[in-house]
Amino acid sequence: MGYFRLLVVGNGISAYGSYLNLVALNVFIYDVTGSALAAGLFMAVRLATSVASGFVSGRLVAAYDRKRLMVGADLCQAISLLTLLLAPEGTRATLLYFLAVVTGGCSTLSQVALRSSIPDIVGSEHRARANGLLVIGRSLAMIVGFASSGLVVAQCGYSAAFALDAVSFVISATVMFLLPLRTRADAPVEAAEKAPGNASHATGWTVRILLRTAPLLVVMIAVRAVDGLGSSSHNVALPIYSHGLDPGHPATFISQFWATWAIGNIVAQQLFSRATKRAGRTPGEKAFALGACVMSAGFILVFSGLPTVPTIIATLIAGAADGFTETVYVTRLQAAPDEQRGRLFGLSASAENAGFGLGMLVSGALLETFSPLQVVASFHGLAIVLCAVLLSVILRRAGAAARRGEDPVSPDLPTAAEGRS
CA neighbor of 18 nearest in space, from 89, 93, 73, 72: 73
What domains can you pick out in the chain, each with its CATH number? Answer: 1-181 (1.20.1250.20), 194-421 (1.20.1250.20)
> Quick one: pLDDT band at residue 209, thresholds 50, 70, 90?
low
Mean pLDDT of the chain: 83
Give CA–CA dist 51/373, Å, rounded.
Answer: 28
Instruction: Give ∠ CA 120-13-142 in degrees, rounded to 5.
Output: 105
Contacts 24+ apart (CB under 8 A), 363-369: 363/229, 363/232, 363/233, 363/236, 363/237, 364/236, 367/236, 367/237, 367/240
Helix axes 308-333, 215-245, angle to 10 degrees: 160
Burial of 61 (C-beta count, 10 Å sphere; 0-12/13-18/19+): buried
- Is residue 94 within 8 A of residue 41, CB to CB? The reply is no
Q: What pLDDT is stored for residue 418 in this prediction?
A: 38
Per-residue confidence at 12, pLDDT binned at 50, 70, 90? very high
Segment 63-113, tens digit of pLDDT: 889 999 999 999 999 999 999 888 887 787 788 888 889 999 999 999 999
pTM of the model: 0.84
Mean pLDDT of 251-268: 87
Query: Which has the minimum average pLDDT: 165-169, 198-202, 289-293, 358-362?
Result: 198-202
Q: 270-291: per-residue pLDDT in tens?
A: 888 777 777 667 778 888 999 9
Identify residue 174 by its one-letter amino acid code.
T
What pLDDT does 407 receive? 57
pLDDT tens sequence across 379-421: 999 999 999 988 888 888 777 767 776 655 544 444 433 333 3
Alpha-carbon distance of 323 to 72, in angstroms, equals 28
| CA atoms of 371 and 368, how far apart (whole Å) | 8
What's the half-sphere exposure (Cβ side, CA atoms, 13 Å) at 123? 5
Rounded CA-CA distance 27/29 in Å is: 6
